[in-house]
Amino acid sequence: MKLSRRALTIKPSPIRKLIDTVESLENVLKLHVGEPDFDTPRSIKEAAKKAFDEGYTHYTFTAGIPKLREAIAEKLKQDNRIDADPENEITVTAGGYGALFSAIHAVIDEGDEVLIPEPAWPAYKGFVKLAGGNPIPLPLSPPEYRLNIKLVEERIGERTKMIIINTPNNPTGTVYGEEELRKLAYLALKKGIYILSDEVYEKIIFDDAKHFSIASIPEARNNTISVYSFSKTYAMTGWRIGYVVAPEEVTSAIRTIHSYMISCVSPAIQLAALKALTEPQDYVDYMVNEYRERRDIAFNLLNEIPDVECVKPKGTFYLFPDFSRIERNSLSLAEKLLNEVKVSTIPGAAFGEAGEGHLRISIAASRETIMEAINRIKKFISNSSSSKSPINKPGEL
C-alpha cells in the first residue's frame, strides 16, 4: 500500500524534530521554545471550567459561537482598525495553524506559487505544499530583514497567487512599518495576488513600534486574509484557538475546509477565549513588559560576544543573532551548543537558506535561564576560538 503523493511531499518541521530531541535530554537550558513560558491567566481557565460545567461539551457553530465572533469584530475594529462582518468574514479556528491551513487550501491550486519572504516560520512551506502549491522563497536582507518591495515585485510571476507576510516576525522579531505594508498592499492589488497576513504576535511589541494590519486599508480588504491567535497573546498555545478574517467569498471556502477538518472549535474553549478578549488586558501588559526586560538582557549579553551581531527586535519573544563570523553552519553550531554546553537554540537554517549563519534565541524563559545560557554560549565561543581547533572546519564556510 502506498502513501499519498501529498503526504510524501512534506516532511515534519525541522523545529519539531529538534524539540523532540531536546525534550529527551536532561538539564538543558531551553532557548529554543516557541511559546510563552507563562501560565494561561486564571480568569481564562475559570471561564473554561465554568463552560464545561454548564454543559458546553457538544458540537457548535462551524464558524464559531456568534458572541465570540462579535467580540472579535469589536477587537478588530478597536485594535486593528479592520471593519469585519462577524456573520460572513470571521471564522474561529484551531489556532493560527487551523487558520493558515484553511486559508491556504481555500485559494491555492495545484502549481500556484506562493511567495514566502525568508527567513520564515517553516510551517508555511508545508501548508503550501499540502495544498499542491509551490512555495517560492524570497530572501530578505540582513540585518533587519525588512520587506524589499522592489524585490517582491520582481519575483511576482504569472503563477504567483499569494504572498505570506508575518509581522511581528518569527524568527527575526522585525515589525514591518505601515509605509512598507501599504506599498506591499498596493503592489498586491496591482498584480492581483492575495496577501496572507500572519499577525499571531501582534500584541508582543516593544518600544515605539506599532503593529499595522494590512486589512485596515479599505482597498486591500478584498485580497487580504488575516490570521490571529489567542496562543501567544494570552499564553494559550495548548488551547488551540485562533481566527481568520477574509472577504466573504474566501471565508465561505475557508469555513467549508475548516468544517471538514475539525467541524468546530470546542465551545468551552471559545467561551474562555471570549473571556480573554473582553476583560481587562493587564496580564497581557505584564507579560509583554517582562518580554521587553528579557529582550534587553539577552540583547546586551549577545552583543558582548565578539563577532556576534544582533539586531534589537521590536516584537515577538525571539532574537535572531548572526553567528556567521564564528560559524556559518547554524545546524552544526546549534548541535555543538546543545551537546557541549547544554543550551538549546533553533538553527537559522530551519527558517530557510536566508537564515543560515544565525540562531533563533527565545526569551520565553526566566531571566536567570537567559543569562546563564547566553553566558555559556559566550564561554563556549571564546574557548573554541582560543583553542587550536577552530569551530569552523575547512569547507564549512
Q: Which residues bind ligand PLP (CB under 6 A)?
A: 34, 95-97, 121, 166, 170, 198, 200, 229, 231, 237, 242
**CB 307 to ligand PLP: min, Å:** 28
Residue 274: burial class (beta carbons within 10 Å; 0-12, 13-18, 19+): buried
Q: Which residue is nearest to ligand PLP (CB)?
A: 95
- Nearest to ligand PLP of 189, 284 (CB atom): 284
- Nearest to ligand PLP of 200, 343 (CB atom): 200
- Nearest to ligand PLP of 103, 333 (CB atom): 103
**CB 242 to ligand PLP: min, Å:** 4
Of 102, 28, 352, 76, the residue nearest 250 (C-alpha): 102
What is the three-class DSSP state of 69?
helix
Cα 345–302–286 angle (5° rounding)?
Answer: 80
Instruction: Please tell me the total number of residues recorded for the chain in this structure.
Output: 397
- Nearest to ligand PLP of 265, 311 (CB atom): 265
What is the three-class DSSP state of 196?
strand
**CB 188 to ligand PLP: min, Å:** 19
**What are the grid coordinates assigned to 173, written together?**
522579531
| Cβ count within 10 A of residue 85 | 13
H-helix or E-strand spanning residue 302: helix 282-303
Distance CA 189, CA 103 (A): 18
**CB 131 to ligand PLP: min, Å:** 16
- Nearest to ligand PLP of 198, 322 (CB atom): 198
What is the three-class DSSP state of 243?
strand
| Cβ count within 10 A of residue 289 | 11
Of 117, 149, 153, 113, the residue nearest 133 (C-alpha): 113
Distance CA 321, CA 331 (A): 14
**What are the grid coordinates assigned to 147, written together?**
520587506
**CB 122 to ligand PLP: min, Å:** 10
**CB 168 to ligand PLP: min, Å:** 9
- Nearest to ligand PLP of 86, 122 (CB atom): 122
- Nearest to ligand PLP of 40, 324 (CB atom): 40
**CB 33 to ligand PLP: min, Å:** 10
